[in-house]
Chain A
Amino acid sequence: MSTDVAVRVEDKLFYNRYQVDPGRAHIKVRPHTTPTPQLKALLKACPARCYELNDKGQVEITVDGCIECGTCRVIGEASGDIEWSYPRGGYGVLFKFG
């Protein structure tokens, strides 16, 4: 994955409307020291690039740009790597077109 593609994801999310629910992340990553293969896969498979590596090499999530597709749940919930819910009613992405 080249850097310019990564930059464009943020640009893409900028088109969207969101109602952010501060302090209530609807997806949580299980604390870990070394990421599992599932967590590593999320770095690339998440279409909103919500998952990133921090400087300790752990996978972190920022849910603000989440487009609520469920891909990370399909990959990472069964192994317990993530906890996944929908945002509270009315919060999250607000599609104009869908």
Chain B
Amino acid sequence: MIEERFDAIVVGAGMAGNAAALTMAKRGMKVLQLERGEYSGSKNVQGAILYADMLEKLIPDFREEAPLERHLVEQRFWMLDDKSHVGLHYKSDDFNEEKPNRYTIIRAQFDKWFSSKVKEAGATVLCETTVTELAQDAYGKVIGVKTDRRDGEIHADVVVLAEGVNGLLGTRAGLRERPKPDSVALAVKEMHFLPRETIEARFNLKGDEGAVIEAVGTISRGMTGMGFIYSNKECISLGIGCLVSDFQKTGETPYGLLERFKQHPSVAPLIEGSEVKEYSAHLIPEGGYNAIPQLCGDGWVVVGDAAQLNNAIHREGSNLAMTSGRIAAEAIFQVKSRRDPMTKENLSLYKKMLEESFVIKDLKKYKDMPALLHNQSQNFFLTYPQLVSKAMQNFVRVDGTPKKEKESSTLRSFVSARSWTGLFGDAFRFARAWR
């Protein structure tokens, strides 16, 4: 066993773990952070969009030195059928502001920088160390961690589990269940490199402006899923994700979906001639509010993806991770300052503070959305995109058919595909889940 004792051990150096370690170290706590990768970031995968507000709360002047890619001035939502896309694009010069709101980032590079701030604040960061188990006393209280290093047991007053979506340690210690196939999505992603002028021309961007595209439709072949295309400075992050339970049911392959997405006539010209430099995969929590496990116990708290804190509707995860890490750290510091023990009761301050933040409020708002989209994936991801595409084509194609006939043909195609009851039911259910 390692004799040195810490106020807190943070397992994992992603967004949540770095936020927690930084916050506690800044408060003067003795913090050890453990990371299994060769450096912080080398195991971390995300699209990725960074939300400035949540990082500003931790590092106010991050824009001066963080490795940021492009600030986002345009968001495109696409609904695809096999040959077309119907798009909703929002681009505004307002986003060319002094302190932009959203950036694209490359996680391995960003996290390495984030970790340097954690070290500067005084935390000990130990990489290439896999935590294999939680150390618990006879009463089940978490008293530290066991690692794959020799004499690898280390003790602390509290362990912050920022171990990522798989949440292996929590499951092994019986603190929570492993994620279920219908509560996580598998996303695969490639990094496509192109000269920056080419990217700027293809996305209609100036300088460091960026655009992101999110796409649903027949690309997921009736499964609950989404494709994404994010512009970085000199590369494009392109990927697609679907629920694991849908992959299991359909026998579709993730790389097969990715290839078809890349070959879509609306997508292929964006990446034409690119050089691919990495292929990655990652799970994304999709269960929403109802999938949030117990957030704290005697000697431990859980933050970020490990706590399934992800807003699938708004595609926000890293900001929830950062915020939960920071709030957990603040709660721990308060308990410590009162010289109280790190019991479940005292640490439930974290839960209370998180409930008062946007994290839980947003997830609660959409608590019925995952079930709706997961159960009706054929309708929302296949039938409607096809119908909308057909309606648009009918609207714009000029072929001598009187407009009145065109409109009734569009209406008939909707009613025959979903029936009046189905259409109203879907609209009602969607509105209710959105509310």
Q: Which secondary structure dominates where chain A touches chain B?
A: loop
Cα distance, A70 to B184, chains bound together (Å): 10
Assembly CA distance A89 to B147 (angstroms): 9
- Output the least CB separation between B376 and chain A (Å): 22
Q: Is B101 an interface residue (CB 8 A)?
A: no
Assess the B178–A47 pair: CB atoms within 8 A: no
Please, how many residues of chain B have a CB less than 8 angstroms from a CB on the other chain? 54
Contact of A98 among B45, B256, B283 (CB under 8 A): B45
Contact, CB under 8 Å: A94 / B255: no
* Interface bits A64-85 vs B (CB < 8 Å: 1, else 0): 0001111101110110000011
Contacts of A1 in B (CB 8 A): 251, 253, 256
- Contact check, A74 vs B107: say whether CB atoms are below 8 A apart: no
Chain B positions 84-117 with a Cβ under 8 Å from a chain A Cβ = 106-109, 111
Interface size for A (C-beta < 8 A) is 39
Of A47, A73, A89, A96, which one neighbours B130 at CB under 8 angstroms? A89
Report the Cα distance A7→B105, complex, angstroms. Answer: 30
How far does the Cβ of B152 sit from chain A's closest Cβ, in whole Å? 10
CA distance A85 to B397 in the complex (A): 56
User: Contacts A16-B279, A69-B282, A98-B42 hold; do A5 and B108 have CB atoms under 8 A apart?
Assistant: no
Which of B41, B235, B244 has the largest count of A CB atoms less than 10 A from its CB? B244
B127 CB contacts on chain A under 8 angstroms: 89-90
Which of A15, A45, A73, A98 contacts B46 (CB under 8 A)? A98
A-B contacts, 28 listed (Cβ < 8 Å): A8-B259, A12-B255, A15-B277, A19-B38, A45-B244, A45-B247, A45-B254, A47-B186, A67-B281, A70-B283, A71-B247, A71-B281, A74-B180, A74-B181, A74-B244, A89-B127, A89-B128, A89-B129, A89-B130, A89-B148, A93-B280, A95-B108, A96-B278, A97-B109, A97-B191, A98-B46, A98-B107, A98-B278
List 7 tightest A-B contacts by C-beta distance, closest first: A90-B128, A12-B279, A98-B108, A98-B107, A47-B281, A69-B281, A89-B128
Residues of A within 8 A of B (CB): 1, 5, 8-9, 12-13, 15-16, 19, 41, 44-45, 47-49, 67-71, 73-75, 77-78, 84-90, 92-98
